[in-house]
Amino acid sequence: MSDIRQALRVQGRVVYALILREALGKYGKSKIGYLWALLEPVIQVLVLVAIFSALGRKSPVGGDLAIFFATGIVPWLIYSNLASRLSGALGANQALLAYPHVTPFDVLVARALLEVMTMLVVFALIYNVLYLVGKAEGVDDLFNVLLGLLLLSLFSTGVGMVNSAIRIYFDSWDKLFNALNRPLYFISGIFFTAASLPPQAREYLQWNPIFQYVEWIRSGFFATSSSAYTNHSYAISCAAMVFFIGLTVTQHTRHLARNL
C-alpha cells in the first residue's frame, strides 16, 4: 500500500509540473495570454447577443441573452479546446516522454486539466460579472451545473485522447477533424434549447452528446429550463464510453507515442 501511495505522489508531482509547463507554453509570461482565454468566449457571446438582439430574438429560457449564450459558448469551448488541443499534446512534449516517470497519459491529463480549469475560471468570471450588472440571476441547481460540466469534460477528454492516438498514425488528422467538427457548433444547443425545437429536429439532435451536456448544464443554471428532454443515461454512457475508449487507445499506443 505504501508503494502505491508513493507511486501516486510521484505521478501527482509529474502532472503538476506538466500543468505548469503547459500554462507557461500556452499563455507565456505575459498577462495578455491569460486575457485572451477570457476574451475569446466574451467576444463570441457579445457577437451573438448583437446579432440576435438586432433580429429581435429573446432568450428561450427567459432573462438576458448574454447569460443564455454564455452557458452555450463556454461548454462548447471546453469540448472544442479539449478535443483539438489534446491531439497535439504528445508531439509538443516529446522530449519529456524520454523520462520513464512521464507517460503519455500524464501529458494528456495535464493538458486536459489546464484547459478545464481555465475555462471554469472564465465561466465563473463571466457569470459573476453578468450577475453584478443584473444580467444574470442566481444559479438554480449548482450540483447539476457541475455534474454536466464534469461529464462534458470527461467526454471531451476522451475525444482528445482518441485524436492524439490517431495523430500518431495520421499526422494531418487535426485538419480533417476540425473540418468534420465545425458543423457541430451549429447543432450543439448554443443558439437554442431542446424545448424550442420542432419534435422531428429534436429527435435527431438529441443523439448529439454535446447538445445533451449543454441542456444538462442549462437545466441547472435556469429554473425555467426544463430537463425533460435531457437523456441523463445516454449522456452519462457517452461520457463513460468515450473516456474509456480514450484511455484504452492511449495505453495501446504508449510505446509508439514515445518515438514520434
Torsion sign across C-alpha atoms 77, 150, 72, 123 = negative
Domains of the chain, residue spans: 31-257
Phi, psi of 183 (to 5 degrees): -60, -25
pLDDT in tens, 104-132: 999 999 999 999 999 999 999 999 999 99
Of the candidates 197, 191, 196, the one whose C-alpha atom is nearest the C-alpha of residue 214 is 191
pLDDT average, residue stretch 66-74: 94
> 28 in the Ramachandran plot: left (φ > 0), alpha (ψ -120 to 50) or beta?
left
Mean pLDDT of the chain: 90
> Confidence band (pLDDT; 50, 70, 90) for 29?
low
Of the candidates 114, 123, 116, the one whose C-alpha atom is nearest the C-alpha of residue 26 is 114
Identify whether the C-beta of residue 27 lies closer than 8 Å to the C-beta of residue 33.
yes
Identify whether the C-beta of residue 60 lies closer than 8 Å to the C-beta of residue 210.
no
Identify whether the C-beta of residue 260 lies closer than 8 Å to the C-beta of residue 90.
yes
For residue 200, pLDDT beyond 80: yes
pLDDT in tens, 96-106: 888 888 899 99
Exposed, middle or buried, 124 (CB in 10 Å: 0-12/13-18/19+)? exposed
- pTM score of the predicted model: 0.93
pLDDT in tens, 232-254: 999 999 999 999 999 999 999 98
199 or 2: which carries more pLDDT confidence?
A: 199
Identify whether the C-beta of residue 69 lies closer than 8 Å to the C-beta of residue 230.
no
String of DSSP letters for 106-152: HHHHHHHHHHHHHHHHHHHHHHHHHHHTTS----S-HHHHHHHHHHH
Identify whether the C-beta of residue 212 lies closer than 8 Å to the C-beta of residue 238.
yes
- Cα-based torsion angle of the residue sequence 41, 172, 255, 6 in order, rounded to the nearest 10 degrees: -10
Instruction: State residue 160's pLDDT score.
Output: 97
